[in-house]
Amino acid sequence: MIKIDVDMAVCQHYGQCVFEAPTVFTLNADDKLEYLASVDDSLLAEVESAIDVCPMQAIRIVE
């Protein structure tokens, strides 16, 4: 399992991660980011892409 952390104090809810990993990241009705804190290893490439495109660099994989 991959553990994900988003620093919500840094996140500006641009939603770029949603385009890269829509099964992991979503924007709710208030356009606030929601995400799964743990996902299957098969989603690693998507999560890494989301990390790369985040303009605020608020997403990280927790070891």
In tens, the pLDDT along 22-39 reads 999 999 999 999 999 999
Structure tokens at 35: 């995400």
At residue 47, what are phi and psi to the nearest 5 degrees?
Answer: -65, -45
- Would you say the C-alpha torsion 46, 48, 49, 53 has a positive or negative sign? positive
| Interatomic CA distance for residues 57 and 40, integer angstroms | 22
pTM score, whole prediction? 0.93
Taking only the tens place, the pLDDT of each residue in 50-63 is 999 999 999 999 98
Q: Would you say domain 2-62 falls under CATH 3.30.450.20? A: no
Mean pLDDT computed over 5-24 = 97
- The Cα–Cα gap between 1 and 16 comes to 23
The Cα 2–Cα 51 span in angstroms is 13
